[in-house]
Chain A
Amino acid sequence: MIELRNLTKYYPVNNGIRYVLRDVSLIIPSRTNLAVLGPNGSGKSTFLRLIGGAEPADSGTIITDEEISWPLGLSSGFQGSLTGRQNIMFVCRINGLDSNQTSHVIDQVINFTEIGEYFDMPISTYSSGMRARLCFGLSMAFEFDVYLIDELTSVGDTIFKEKAKAAFEKIRKRASLIFVSHSVQTLKQSCQSALFLRDGMADYYPDIDEGLEVYTEYIQNHRNHSNPKQGAKHIPKKILTQLNLPMITTDDHLPENPGNPTPPPKPKWRRLAAKKAARRKARLENNKSEIPSDGAPLTPPIARKMAAKKAARRKARLEKAMSEGASDGASPASPKARKMAARKAARQRARRALAKTVTPPNDNQPAN
């Protein structure tokens, strides 16, 4: 259980003060995964930092008997000039682990992250996915009751996402999450309750669906003031196109024409492509009709020569393939052998291509 008592946190801004939390009192029960919702800049990350003890509140207290992790985010926790290993050692040192435990943690992190030699390279050379892996792997090596996760899983590849999911499943029995993410899908999957932050207020919803509903509604009502991209995420696509039309802006028009809106004009490149295709077709037909009649085709002679060569080559290749196929048929060895042969051919082709690109300077050399 985490209890906030009259918690206030504000930041100085250009003209005055901006409240993240204003005299907020609430109780976050144990064993519930909490989704923290709110528009950009509403203080979700600050909320995590407050809970994690990385930042002091301006007034009020946070009371808890649980072991809470530090906020796991992309931009924090690792010193860029140090290597991954050195950063992990730092965390072990500040927590007073002995060398046995330290090596245990390091082994575990190496196993989880799978970033190979990057583990001994400075963090500043990492991609954001690798940072996320390291941060996540490190926190999973420690036993916490509550994990604070700030948009960490949104950057990883599928492998990492699957691993994170498995890790969530595993810790579900002993720990809970407080989760900041803009992906509604992820939140719905892994959270049961929601906390909605806005304008210094915080509302707790025991049911995530209810929280998400309120949040979506709030976003729709405030689209003109807040980041439109974020609001757009939650509106079905069809309605979105209608909302963009200047005529229909109020909500009551929406149910009247629920479906088939006028098809939007095709993008410019598509129109151009269509025109080009039409032109080409016309030209082809022209050629067909003209070549036999007066023998002066529209295509230049070189192009024709090249086309002829190409056709010859293709024919040769086809024949070769046929003969190979025949031999293949003679020994119905396996699809594997065929695959190998195909690969070999590809390699040869590549080599030939390479040789082609290399030859011109060689031709010039004797002249010099």
Chain B
Amino acid sequence: MPTPISIPKHSPWVTQILVINALFKREVTTRFGQYRLGLFWMLVEPLISVIVIGVLIATIAGKTVPEIPYAFFLLLGKLMLNVFKGSMSTGVRAIGSNLALLVYPTVQPLDTFIARFLYELVMSLIAFVLFSVVGMWLGITLSLANLHIVLVCFLISWLMGCGLGLIFGVASAHFKEVDKFVMLLTSPLMFISAVIFPLSALPTAYQQVLLYNPLVHTIELSRNALFPHYAIDAETLTYPLMVSIVVLATGLMLFRGNRNFLSQS
């Protein structure tokens, strides 16, 4: 005779951690489950774009960055951009793709966002560590004294992505078009975030414009932290930090205001 199991009682904090953990694992299984070589693709995708762009820019345009091996220069920018872009675009569909699981009373809509955001951060950090190790093994000298700045840059870019992901996630629950809008928004990001070229390569007037993009700050600062010879002048951590706080606060407020609307459907 099978005996039913009584569900153990947990405090709200423990419950939330359990739920986020479960959602995180669900995220990993669905992302990696579809492909045989899940983690492999995770790493290869930025590599391929790096190779393509690297070959184009370095050989055809003949321009390189003297202070940093160009491949690593590009990779770092791409990873920083990905942690932002990934959080933003997965946040948009966070609720939609977990709708069926919201029926369990302990699973709250915010948990689906948090799980996805954490997934993006963890994966980007893993990729960063792997690429760094491989780079150092290949003979690239990284200055590890300022590693904490790189980490802060990652976190700030991530938080901005989270804030925007929340905002767009709430918006897409009201208007379906937001999905497409976000896709349009993310496509030119690579060119206006100083991913494929150093900011100093631009004319001063354009530099001033691009500096309004907080991602330029985090990307350039992280390059400077790993390669001290790489020159930067106007970039600060304060500006992207302020932006991320504002964006995240807006996102959380919007979420709070629409809480009831989001959990029904």
Contacts and interface: CB of A to CB of B under 8 A. Distances in A.
A260 interface: no
Nearest to B29: A86
A56 interface: yes
B14 A96 contact: yes
Interface in A80-126: 80-82, 86, 90-91, 93-97, 101, 104-105, 107-108, 111-112
Given A54-B105, A56-B260, A91-B104, A82 B26 contact: yes
B5 interface: yes
Question: Do most interface residues of chain B lie in helix, strand or loop, or is the interface mixed?
Answer: helix
A7 to B, nearest CB: 14
B106 interface: yes
Contact of A56 (B25, B26, B101, B263): B263
A161 interface: no
Interface string A65-87: 00100110101111111100010
A95 B259 contact: no
Contacts of A142: 4-7
Contact of B30 (A11, A81, A140): A81
B101 A77 contact: yes
A224 to B, nearest CB: 30
Nearest to A73: B103
Contacts of A52: 103, 105
A199 interface: no
Contact of B103 (A11, A71, A95, A105): A71
A79 B26 contact: yes
B26 A78 contact: no
A53 interface: yes
A95 to B, nearest CB: 5
A77 B100 contact: yes
A319 interface: no
A93 B16 CA distance: 11
Nearest to A105: B5
Nearest to A76: B103
A217 interface: no
A97 B7 CA distance: 8
A141 B2 contact: yes
Nearest to B263: A55
A67 B10 CA distance: 13
Nearest to A80: B100
Given A54-B103, A96-B8, A108 B259 contact: no
A58 interface: yes
Contacts, number: 92
Interface string B152-178: 000000000000000000000000000
B263 A143 contact: no
Given A81-B30, A82-B29, A86-B26, A143 B4 contact: yes
Contacts of B18: 93-96
A233 to B, nearest CB: 28
B103 A97 contact: no
Contacts of A82: 26, 29-30
A49 B102 CA distance: 10
Contacts of B10: 96
B159 to A, nearest CB: 26
Interface in B206-245: none
A330 B224 CA distance: 102
A151 to B, nearest CB: 14
Contacts of A73: 103
B30 A55 contact: no
Contacts of A49: 103, 264
B98 interface: yes
B8 A97 contact: yes
Interface in B3-31: 4-8, 10, 14-15, 18-19, 21-22, 25-26, 29-30
B174 to A, nearest CB: 11
Interface of A: 11, 49, 52-56, 58, 67, 70-71, 73, 75-82, 86, 90-91, 93-97, 101, 104-105, 107-108, 111-112, 140-143
Given A52-B103, A143-B7, 12 more contacts: A49-B264, A52-B105, A56-B260, A78-B100, A81-B30, A81-B33, A86-B26, A90-B101, A93-B18, A93-B21, A95-B7, A107-B2
12 contacts: A55-B264, A78-B100, A82-B29, A90-B101, A94-B19, A94-B104, A94-B106, A140-B4, A141-B2, A141-B4, A142-B7, A143-B7
